[in-house]
Structure 1
């Protein structure tokens, strides 16, 4: 059997293979790894198709971790005993549950390096554009602005809020935001656009927008004040009522009202380097409160005072919230 084999059934990778792949990833990234370790890993990969499939996924995870800030993974590899077992468990959970590309997507530096306007993880910024429109950038956001025959923003990644101004030119130029999924055209409005790994999210606080997915045959959709939706290159989902908390980040606030803990962690995690993971056992717990995004550590520390959970830190950049022991 070749080393590149895959499970013929197409079924999910089994848990044993995932755990073993996590062990090999830790072992081969350790300071003492040598040729014998490489050979032993190759032999293990050749034993079963499931092993090779799990290893390929482990390698992809390792590449994604390399894109994170220095110090995320390597300090864990040198630990022993209980801390190393915790690292092993977390690696296995990531292999089983984190979508491929998510870590690298959040931390890819070129998005910021080449953009006209940009923010780092945990940073927010307000910009007044050439026409007087106000642009708010959320955490880890990158935007280009090109004002010519139209007022055009290109959202490379992250999230923005725009309050459009009356164009000083006659006739007035259209104001548009281009994303990977298509185009959003403003109609005298205040709106939010977030670029995800696949789809683009849009929320309209005032006025209206026209969403035009990238595919030539995809129909346009009008979104009015008090509505939100997401769209991909081939179409948009039906409009839904606006969540009134959507714009809170522009005021530096994360407001939770009976919010699932998993959703809270996802939102807070966008403002933090590395991984903030909510374990499945506590994902459906509900949390309420107002948290300051400028002090993410205080927000995180408040969670165990509200809910029966504990926070486990493998490194500064690797945090997990789970049930109390």
Structure 2
């Protein structure tokens, strides 16, 4: 059997693409790794196709990966013997992620180990579990929740707005004497009439806008809603939704260092836990998807929420290297 140069090239690209996916699945990729990956993919359509094939392979690996999960966990916990090399460790972790049904996408970090490409232009950013307060100008204070990226907007050298690239932010401009503060999030445009206090949350392609004081206009295409205090609206691919009343204490609980669940569907609660906790909690039992959870938890102790969920539903918890928790 003979191999052409084209066959050898495809084989080499498959090996390289597989190595990239394993690195992403490990949760240890850095921003520099992400930039290197994009340079690798930009070399041509064969590189991009090889990477897509590698993602599908690991995503669809299925139950057969359980053996690799057990092996990776055993090797990580082994007190003596030869140290597990990087290639073997990344391979085991990639299998763990694929069994949980997680899509390995280059544009989105799997375990919070590196910043998505879409957020590289951020002026301000918070890491997983981190909160930060920034004074954008003398009359506008910005509070940033976990996993948040902000790009400021300027006009004539003065900050007059911002773009929420991801995460959750509170804007307090109650000392302002007038004017507007504009926010972009996804395909929507948000305009606050100052003085005002508002919060904007963007997770994926969905944005939620909450008005706490003042008046806020939200526009998506030719649709528009105006919010008064204690009202919010959200938008996404399904358009701009109806305005609804809210309880500020629950919506703004993150500013006090807690998250509040009130009959929150379990999958939504786990998604929220994953925003504050490094690693990944994965719901494995579909029978639990219809359950809901209530409680108030410090954002610095998300494992308390996992313990309550475990006890409330008698769920089995399996802990894997890399702060991965399989629930159910």
Q: Same fold (TM over 0.5)?
A: yes
Instruction: Return the offset for 1:201.
Output: 1.6
Q: Does 1:241 pair with 2:245?
A: yes
Q: Does 1:268 pair with 2:276?
A: no
User: Is the 8 Å Cα contact of residues 131 and 165 (structure 1) preserved in structure 2?
Assistant: no
Equivalence for 2:214: 207
Equivalence for 2:205: 198
Counterpart pick for 2:173 among 140, 161, 164? 164
- What SS class does the counterpart of residue 316 from structure 2 fall into? strand
Equivalence for 1:154: 163
The CA deviation string for residues 263-310 of structure 1, in whole angstroms up to 9 with x for no partner, is 221111111223212232212333222111012233323332343222
The CA deviation string for residues 225-261 of structure 1, in whole angstroms up to 9 with x for no partner, is 2222222489411212325421111111012223322
TM-score normalised by the chain length of structure 2: 0.64
Q: Which runs of 5+ in 1 are unaligned?
A: 1-24, 31-52, 63-73
Quickly say closer, same or farther: Cα 1:277–1:102, change in 2 above 3 A: farther
Distance 2:92 2:121 in 1: 40
Instruction: Return the offset for 1:58.
Output: 3.3
Equivalence for 2:294: 288
Distance 1:311 1:301 in 2: 9
Equivalence for 1:189: 196
Quickly say closer, same or farther: Cα 1:302–1:182, change in 2 above 3 A: same
Q: Which runs of 5+ in 2 are unaligned?
A: 1-17, 24-51, 62-67, 78-90
User: Is the 8 Å Cα contact of residues 215 and 229 (structure 2) preserved in structure 1?
Assistant: yes
Instruction: Return the offset for 1:190.
Output: 1.9
CA RMSD of aligned residues (A): 3.9
User: Is the 8 Å Cα contact of residues 55 and 105 (structure 2) preserved in structure 1?
Assistant: no
The aligned length equals 256
Counterpart pick for 1:177 among 177, 183, 190? 183
Equivalence for 1:219: 223
Instruction: Return the offset for 1:99.
Output: 9.3
Q: Judge which range, 109-118 or 277-286, deviates more.
A: 109-118
Instruction: Return the offset for 1:176.
Output: 1.0
